[in-house]
Amino acid sequence: MNNKETISLQLNQICYTYGSKEILHEIDCTFYSGQITVLLGPNGAGKTTLLNLIAGLNQPQQGTISLNHHVLQWQDQRYKQRIGYLMEFPFYYPSLTVVEMMRLNGGLRNIQRGQLEDRIMHWLERFELQVYHNHQMDALSQGTKKRVALASTLLHEPDILILDEPTNGLDPDQVMIVRNTLQEYSENGALILLSTHIIGLAEKLAQQVAILRNGQLVYCGDSTEDLEGLYVAHR
């Protein structure tokens, strides 16, 4: 991925309710290409709900999402093609091998066959997964499954990358590989938004931070060296 276009993704007064329960309240925030924004917040704050809306899985009941100041219609296919979304608990077919699972994901993204094999090799190597290429998905550890899902998310080289707790269950070596890969990917021009509970990871990755509490965005702005202090100050 090498994106020369500047992208901004704006959330404007986004609200979401499940039944009568308000989960997200008037969320305003803008994300930019070439930057990593880390979304922080306690359990149940609404992070996954917000990421699902931005990825186009669900539709906000109120508010708009704009790409470069153009309001997006829900299910805009051109927007969806630009997005890579790693869900907190990625779906996989247990009986497929790693390569078969990646071919399936690449096929769903309409990547041409010749190109697909090269991309699969590239991302398998990037996440040190070559050794597992022929292993069945359900025989992998949780952390390895997560890395396969992340590699699959990058196959179509999206310029908007949304990741829900991407390092959950990864060992420290793998966290480092993921961190370096995301930094490099962002430097190549991608817009990255990720949620995590690990403040140390956020400190290393984030140019921008968004803090969500009880469905309200209590901070959206520059990251700082003392992110824990910022987080505590926005209780």
Ligand X SMILES: Nc1ncnc2c1ncn2[C@@H]1O[C@H](COP(=O)(O)OP(=O)(O)OP(=O)(O)O)[C@@H](O)[C@H]1O
Q: Which residues bind ligand X (CB under 6 A)?
A: 18, 23, 41, 43-49
Q: Least Å distance between CB 196 and ligand X?
A: 9
d(C-alpha 50, C-alpha 34), whole Å: 21
Q: Least Å distance between CB 76 and ligand X?
A: 23
* Closer to ligand X by Cβ: residue 3 or 196: 196
Q: Least Å distance between CB 49 and ligand X?
A: 3
Cβ–Cβ under 8 Å, residues 58 and 16? yes
d(C-alpha 150, C-alpha 228), whole Å: 27
d(C-alpha 106, C-alpha 65), whole Å: 27
* Closer to ligand X by Cβ: residue 105 or 196: 196
* Closer to ligand X by Cβ: residue 24 or 140: 24
Q: Least Å distance between CB 42 and ligand X?
A: 7
Three-state DSSP state, 43? coil
Q: Least Å distance between CB 16 and ligand X?
A: 9
Q: Least Å distance between CB 200 and ligand X?
A: 17
Q: Least Å distance between CB 145 and ligand X?
A: 18
* Closer to ligand X by Cβ: residue 74 or 89: 89
Q: For Cα atoms 90, 92, 96, give the angle at the middle one, nearest 5 degrees.
A: 155
Short-list 137, 10, 130, CA closest to 63: 10
* Closer to ligand X by Cβ: residue 188 or 214: 214
What single-letter DSSP state applies at residue 136? B
* Closer to ligand X by Cβ: residue 10 or 52: 52
* Closer to ligand X by Cβ: residue 34 or 90: 90
Number of neighbouring beta carbons within 10 Å of residue 71: 11
Cβ–Cβ under 8 Å, residues 59 and 74? yes
d(C-alpha 68, C-alpha 8), whole Å: 5
Cβ–Cβ under 8 Å, residues 155 and 116? yes
Name residue, tokens 């080289």.
Answer: 157
